[in-house]
Amino acid sequence: MKISSNLKKALNDQTALEANASNTYLAMASWCEITGYEGSAAFFYVQAEEERQHMLKFVHYLNDMGVSATIPGTKSPASNFKSLELIIKTALNNERTVTKAIHKIVEITQKEKDHSTYAFLEWFVNEQVEEEKKFETILQKFDLIGRDKLAINEIDKILNGMSATPSDIGSA
């Protein structure tokens, strides 16, 4: 199976997007850790690793298809955040960006009738639904529980619980 140059570029661009997402989550984890949000730090360290695994899936897929993957340089992520809530909002926006990018690649596969790459991307399409829902649910907690120190502490505990069950790291 031959991958078009257009699709190769899109897949390599996605590799870079996943790498940048991993570094962004790593920066968020670091900020949370230094700020005293241990549960949130654990959650974002898991998220960083999950995005790294997503990047590797793209690298392996390209290599499996006989196309050399381009290993991306990454942008320096923001490292100073104003609040845990703003971090969650930023994470949701990042996931929405990834979703749009995945959907664009799916459109390319449909246009080019590349069924193998389309099948490969189905997992990512489903994963992005889960990722967006996860961050939307976390954001709801701020409205439900509140934004005072006790509420933020409770949300931090919730995120800690979510870090104990990483979803599909390294699978599929």
pTM for the whole thing?
Answer: 0.93
Give the integer Cα–Cα distance in Å for 112 and 77. Answer: 34
Residue 169 pLDDT exceeds 70: no
Residues 139, 92 contacting (CB under 8 angstroms) = yes
Residues 159, 39 contacting (CB under 8 angstroms) = yes
Residue 5 pLDDT exceeds 70: yes
Cα–Cα distances in Å, from 167 out to 9, 10, 151, 160?
A: 28, 25, 26, 14
Residue 31 lies in a domain: yes
Residues 167, 50 contacting (CB under 8 angstroms) = yes
Residue 171 pLDDT exceeds 70: no
Give 14-28 pLDDT, tens digit per residue. Answer: 999 999 999 999 999
Residue 172 pLDDT exceeds 50: no
Give 39-69 pLDDT, tens digit per residue. Answer: 999 999 999 999 999 999 999 999 999 999 9
Residue 76 lies in a domain: no
* 67 DSSP 8-state letter: -
Residue 98 lies in a domain: yes
Token duo for residue 120? 């490969």
For residue 91, the enclosing domain spans 5-71+81-163
Residue 171 lies in a domain: no
Q: What is the CATH number of the domain that holds 47?
A: 1.20.1260.10
Angle of helix 84-112 relative to helix 38-64, nearest 10 degrees, comes to 10
Residue 116 lies in a domain: yes
* Mean pLDDT of the 113-133 span: 98
Nearest Cα to Cα of residue 125 among 95, 104, 103, 96 = 103
Q: How confident is the model at residue 138 (pLDDT cuts 50, 70, 90)?
A: very high
Give 75-106 pLDDT, tens digit per residue. Answer: 999 999 999 999 999 999 999 999 999 999 99
- What per-residue confidence (pLDDT) applies to 165? 58
* Mean pLDDT of the 156-162 span: 97
Residue 168 pLDDT exceeds 50: no
Residue 114 pLDDT exceeds 90: yes
Residue 17 lies in a domain: yes
Give the integer Cα–Cα distance in Å for 53 and 169. Answer: 7
- What per-residue confidence (pLDDT) applies to 2? 87
Total number of domains in the chain:
1
Residue 169 lies in a domain: no
Q: How confident is the model at residue 164 (pLDDT cuts 50, 70, 90)?
A: confident
Residue 105 lies in a domain: yes
